[in-house]
Amino acid sequence: MKNHDIVPTLVEQCMQEGEYIVSTTDPTGRITSANDVLLRFSGYSADELIGQQHNILRHPDMPRAVFALAWETIANGEGFLGYIKNLSKNGSFYWVFAHIFPLFDEEGGLIGYKSIRRKPRADALPGVAALYAAMCQTEAEAGPRDAIAAGRAVLARALAGKGQSYEAFVAAL
């Protein structure tokens, strides 16, 4: 099943305090491991997820610019923190607060990425959802070629005057 074949619903699954979704990928973003919590929330079996691109979980309400920022951050060897709305196999969704970071071998070579997701702050989600909706709308209007730049411009305007990066912004929510 491909992500684009799934029809999103308005059914939300909510993580509980103390639950952690953990997965690893290879350097290209293909899933190499997934814990039971991810399997439960996503609705996929391990056999269905392992080997798939991690974007199989991407909800269409997520701006492309956020993922571009995440990839740039982790490609620079840094950790990324952010709110992510994921899509389950059955069309439901779940919000997470994600920490994504690179994994290196003993010689310092990149071997993949690890993502640890926890329950997001409920009071932060309305603001994040509104920002992401504005970013998605602008990305759609800009078209595929200019979508990421357009989404980043919306994000930059939202952060203007706050003197914050995206990571500082979401960490402060």
Residue 100: strand pairing partners: 80, 115
Walk along the chain (173 residues) and give the pLDDT tens digit of each residue.
455 689 999 999 999 999 999 999 999 999 999 999 999 999 999 999 999 999 999 999 999 999 999 999 999 999 999 999 999 999 999 999 999 999 999 999 999 999 999 999 999 899 899 999 999 999 999 999 999 999 999 998 888 766 666 766 666 65
In 3D space, the residue among 97, 116, 4, 94 whose CA is nearest the CA of residue 56 turns out to be: 4
Which CA distances in Å does 22 have to 41, 60, 122? 11, 21, 20
Question: For the whole model, what pTM was predicted?
Answer: 0.90
Contact (CB, 8 A) for 127 and 173? yes
Residue 21: strand pairing partners: 117
Sheet with 31-34, strands from edge to edge, namely 31-34, 20-25, 110-118, 93-104, 80-87
